[in-house]
């Protein structure tokens, strides 16, 4: 389990990185935290002839607010997100979900941009991004574009990024007031990729008895993170009540189409997606109320 031969390039600036990527996109692979790429190299499942190491690009690191949105630059480590008071305050769903990513030494090294670009359908960050209707900033020599999460994640390990484009930041828009979020997942062991995970976002009307908007974003139930649009639509205007969440669970089960593997069957995932949706919606609604009280 030793990596195959490759050339290694550590650019000093994003511009340098993009220049090389533009020239050699076919044979080059950007190296972010390496927590997914290096295992693939060690198993010789990935064979880039050139690695472009982004770890020296400090300009790609940092968390800030921009026009109310939380901006996390691509090379920001998971641990930095986990420790950030800004994230906890502004995007609690991200703060909650990030703790489910691997383990401490993985989060030390793993990056937000790397996780999003890798697009594992059972990974937490893509699910959070989908739940919050976030956007991915892609940068190449040709320019920069913002791609909504919905359009960015295409399929298993496949995104809308062109070979010469780098994920340079992700944006999590702010949520309306009286909104609560919750992240729940079921994994075989602590820190494993989720069998099923869900991010729920629930906004309540002024009297806190009615749902004005709800979102459900699932991981582990398809080739990409999946929004339960039918359930979301059905939740709008419904009362804050256990029956509402239960009905949403049923809708979720009808609209998702998970696959099975050695760890859990498709039927299990479908059912548990409903269970987690029900629980996450209730929790998010509760938090929406609590948040308003504070």
Partner 1 sequence: MPTRIFGEPIKRAEDPRLLTGRGRYTDDIDLPGQLHVAFLRSPLAHARIRSIDVSAAREMPGVVTVWTYADIGPCQRRMPLLIPHPDLTHPYTRYALAKDEVNHVGEPVAMVIAESRYLAEDAVEAIVVEWEELPPVVDIERAVQPGAPLVHEELGTNVAAHYVGIVGDPEGAFSRAAHVFRERLIIERSAGMPIETRAIVAVWNDVEGVLEVWDTTQAPIVIRNALAALFGLAPTQVRVIAPDVGGGFGCKIMVYPEEVLVPYAALTLRRPIKWTEDRLEHFVGTNHERLQIHDAEIAVDAEGRILGIRDRFLHDAGAYTPYGIIVPIITACQLPGPYKVPNYHVEFRAVYSNTVPVSPYRGAGRPHAAFVMERLLDRVADELGLDRAEVRRRNFIQPHEFPYDVGLIFQDGAPTRYDSGNYPGMLDLLLQQMDYDRLVREELPRLRAEGRFVGVGIACYVEGTGIGPYEGATVRVEPTGQVYVATGMPQQGQAHKTVLAQIVAEELQVPVGSVQVFEGDTAHFQFGSGTYASRSAVVCGSAVALAARKVREQGLQLAAEELEVAVEDLVVEDGRVYVRGAPERGFTWAQLAQLANPLRYAYAGDLVVRPRPWTGPTLPPGKQPSLEATEYYSPPHATWASGAVGMLVEVDIETGQLHIRKLWVVHDCGKMINPMVVEGQVHGGIAQGIGGAFYEKLHYDDNGQLLNASFMDFLMPTAMEIPRMEIAHQETPSPLNPLGVKGVGEAGAIPMPAVVAAAVEDALRPFGVRITRMPLDPDQLWRMTHPESS
Partner 2 sequence: MTAVGTERRVIRVVVNGVPYEREVEARLLLSDFLRHELGLTGTHVGCEHGVCGACTVLFDGEPVRSCLFLAVQADGHAIETVEGLAPSESELHPLQLAFWEKHGLQCGYCTPGMLMVLKAFLAEHPNPTEEEIREAISGNLCRCTGYQNIVEAALSAAQLMRQS
List of residues contacting partner 2 (CB under 8 A) = 1-10, 20, 23-24, 31, 34-35, 38-39, 41-43, 50-53, 55, 79, 102-106, 108-109, 189-191
Smallest gap from residue 268 Cβ to partner 1 (A): 4
- Collect all residues with Cβ–Cβ distance below 8 Å to 37 and sequence separation of at least 6: 29, 31, 46, 114, 118
* CA–CA gap between residue 83 and residue 79 (Å, rounded): 6
**Beta-strand pair 166-172/135-140:** antiparallel
* CA–CA gap between residue 82 and residue 117 (Å, rounded): 19
List of residues contacting partner 1 (CB under 8 A) = 1-5, 43-44, 186, 188-193, 195, 262-265, 267-268, 271-272, 275-276
Residue 16 or 192: which CB sits closer to partner 1?
A: 192
The partner in contact with residue 292, picked from partner 1, partner 2, none with C-beta cut-offs of 5 to 8 angstroms by kind, is: none
The partner in contact with residue 45, picked from partner 1, partner 2, none with C-beta cut-offs of 5 to 8 angstroms by kind, is: none
- Which tokens sit at 59? 């300009």
Smallest gap from residue 106 Cβ to partner 2 (A): 6
Residue 230 or 275: which CB sits closer to partner 1?
A: 275
Smallest gap from residue 253 Cβ to partner 2 (A): 31
Smallest gap from residue 88 Cβ to partner 1 (A): 23
* CA–CA gap between residue 164 and residue 138 (Å, rounded): 10
- Collect all residues with Cβ–Cβ distance below 8 Å to 236 and sequence separation of at least 6: 211, 212, 213, 214
CA-nearest of 178, 183, 225 to 200 is 183
Smallest gap from residue 105 Cβ to partner 2 (A): 4
């Amino acid at each position: 389990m030793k990596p195959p031969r490759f050339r290694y390039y550590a650019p000093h600036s994003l511009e340098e990185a993009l220049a090389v990527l533009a020239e050699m996109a076919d044979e080059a692979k950007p190296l972010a935290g390496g927590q997914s790429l290096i295992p693939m190299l060690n198993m010789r499942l990935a064979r880039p002839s050139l690695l472009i190491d982004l770890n020296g690009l400090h300009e790609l690191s940092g968390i800030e607010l921009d026009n109310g949105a939380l901006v996390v630059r691509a090379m920001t480590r998971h641990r930095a997100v986990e420790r950030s008071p800004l994230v906890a305050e502004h995007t609690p769903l991200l703060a909650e979900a990030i703790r489910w990513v691997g383990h401490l030494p993985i989060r030390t090294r793993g990056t937000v941009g790397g996780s999003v670009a890798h697009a594992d359908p059972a990974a937490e960050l893509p699910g959070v991004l989908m739940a919050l209707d976030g956007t991915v900033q892609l940068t190449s020599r040709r320019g920069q574009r913002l791609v909504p999460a919905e359009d960015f994640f295409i399929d298993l390990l496949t995104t809308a990024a062109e070979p010469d484009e780098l994920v340079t930041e992700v944006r999590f828009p702010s949520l309306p007031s009286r909104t609560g979020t919750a992240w729940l997942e079921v994994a075989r062991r602590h820190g494993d990729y989720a069998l099923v995970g869900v991010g729920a976002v629930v906004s309540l009307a002024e009297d806190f008895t009615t749902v004005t908007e709800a979102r459900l974003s699932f991981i582990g139930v398809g080739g990409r993170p999946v929004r339960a649009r039918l359930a979301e639509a059905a939740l709008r205007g419904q009362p804050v009540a256990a029956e509402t969440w239960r009905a949403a669970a049923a809708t979720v089960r009808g609209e998702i189409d998970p696959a099975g593997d050695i760890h859990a069957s498709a039927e299990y995932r479908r059912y548990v997606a409903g269970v987690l949706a029900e629980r996450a919606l209730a929790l998010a609604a509760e938090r929406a109320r609590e948040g308003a009280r504070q």
